[in-house]
Structure 1
Amino acid sequence: MRPIHPSQRVAVLADSQNLYHAAHSLYSRNVDYTELLGAAVDDRNLVRAIAYVIRADSPSEEEFFDALRDIGFETKIKDIKTFADGSQKANWDLGMCLDAVTLAGKIDTFVLCSGDGDFARLCTHLRHEGVRTEVFGFGPSMAEELVEAADSVNDLSADEERYLL
């Protein structure tokens, strides 16, 4: 495990859907992305901050996307798909993994903002490549396999007044 130091190059990838659902199901509140990004970077050198979002045609989502950009996140937007049976799907997992692997040679630390256990294998892979992996998520909804795969875990629930609006 690499020590944390100010010259580390950091990439922050935020799974906005996962954070939204966790914050709403646990607290009925929204995530404070300004605080989240500040804590994730922690006075280190930010290489990229990407928020992965889903466009579902809700009234205030464009304002949310603009706010993320104003905070310092690059937004990657995927439209929700509606199938003939009425079911809907939108998922950024593969795109996030590809971006993380692509960035691995340019960073020292990968910060994943999600509690999704599907990213455990990504964290394990990045650690084997020499990249420190940090996870920020809401403890009660974080997958155990993700917690075990990361170098460090930051439970946003431990300071909900800081990380929630």
Structure 2
Amino acid sequence: MTEIHPSQRVAMLADAQNLYHTAQSLYSRNIDYSALLEKGVAGRDLTRAIAYVVRADSPDEESFFEALVDIGFEPKIKEIKTFGDGSKKADWDVGMSLDAVTLANHVDTVVLCTGDGDFSRLCSHLRHEGVRVEVMAFRESTAEELIEATDTFIDLSERQETFLL
């Protein structure tokens, strides 16, 4: 495991859908992405920050995407898929995982902003490769296997005044 040091190279990968829905369901508030990036990087060298978003054709989403860019995130946008039975799906699990594995050779730490337990295997893989893995999410909705698979877990619920708008 890589120890924390000031010149450490960090990549932050934020699952915007997971964060949004959790913040809304728990607190009826939005995520402060500026604080998320600042606290996640924590004085280290930011290599890349990616926010994985889904285009849902809501009125404010374009301004949200622009705000992410202004903060320092690269938004990766996926169109929502509607199936014949009316169900909808759009998730970034595979895309986030591929990006994390690709970035692993270029960073010391990957900060995952998600509570999705599907990423626990990714965390184990990254740690096996010598990459430090930190997760920032709301404990109430974070899979226990994800918390156990990381080097550090930061509970956003414990610092609502910092991470929520």
**TM-score (structure 2 length as normaliser):** 0.99
Corresponding residue for 1:56?
A: 56
Deviations 1:13-50 (A, max 9, x none): 00000000110110000000000000010010000000
Q: Could you list the structure 1 runs, at least 4 aligned residues long, displaced by more than 6 angstroms after superposition.
A: none
Deviation (angstroms), 1:3? 1.7
Identity %: 69
Counterpart Cα distance in 1 of 2:21 and 2:57: 17
Deviations 1:51-92 (A, max 9, x none): 000001011011110000100000100000111111100010
Deviation (angstroms), 1:2? 2.3
Counterpart Cα distance in 2 of 1:133 and 1:162: 21
Corresponding residue for 1:104?
A: 104
Corresponding residue for 1:163?
A: 163
Counterpart Cα distance in 2 of 1:72 and 1:134: 19
User: How many residues are matched?
Assistant: 165
**TM-score (structure 1 length as normaliser):** 0.99
- Asked if 1:14 is matched to 2:14, the reply is yes
- Structure 2, unaligned runs of 5 or more: none
- Structure 1, unaligned runs of 5 or more: none
